Amino acid sequence: MKFANDPFWVRLRWLLFFFFWLLWAGMLAGAIAIIVMAPKCSAPEPKKFWEESPIIQLDASIDSPSDDLKGLESVLNDLKDQHIKAISLSSLVKEGADGATEDFKAIKSKLGNISDLENLIKVATEKDQLVFLELDPNHSSVEHPWFKQSVERQDSIRDLRIPLRDLRILVNLRHLYMRYCA
């Protein structure tokens, strides 16, 4: 304590005390200036429909109370209450007994007709819901006009046809890939 009351050390302590608070106030002012002068964040992009709600898959013949498209209209109210905005309808196209598509432009007769589908989409649109139709174009029935035209070798379908030898090569390559790589 010999130097505690020495005038040099007293002045030095006061000077350091003053510089500490001056530095502290300067850092506070700098932090406030950085916050105030920093560029504002841009507004977030609006969410896409798949980010807002889940996409639920419905099968009209199973999920509908009346096993048709008209019955799905009552299901839309329940889905709206659950905040579901996107509905995926399983394949509605006319299929044969083997499950292959007979007509890509017609709906299964037990589910209704095109006007029933249009009405369902209209009701869903009024409720701010989106309807997606699932379509598997890979499996065309032997009763489909495209297949028949291909067999008859009509020129209008000739450009869309894959030659049989190329098809066999593709099938064999897929078989080999599934066998050894999958």
pLDDT one-digit tens code per residue, 144-171: 777 777 677 655 544 554 454 444 444 4
Average pLDDT of the residues in 47-52: 85
**Interatomic CA distance for residues 139 and 137, integer angstroms:** 6
Per DSSP, helices labelled H in the chain are 7-37, 49-52, 60-63, 69-81, 114-126, 145-151, 155-158, 164-180
Residue 158 token pair: 């000739």
Strand 93-95 to strand 101-107: parallel, antiparallel, or no bridges (unpaired)? antiparallel
- Residues 120 and 109 sit within 8 Å (Cβ to Cβ): no
Spatial distance between the Cα atoms of 123 and 137, rounded to a whole number of angstroms: 27
* 97-143 pLDDT tens trace: 777 777 777 788 888 888 888 888 889 889 889 888 887 767 777 77
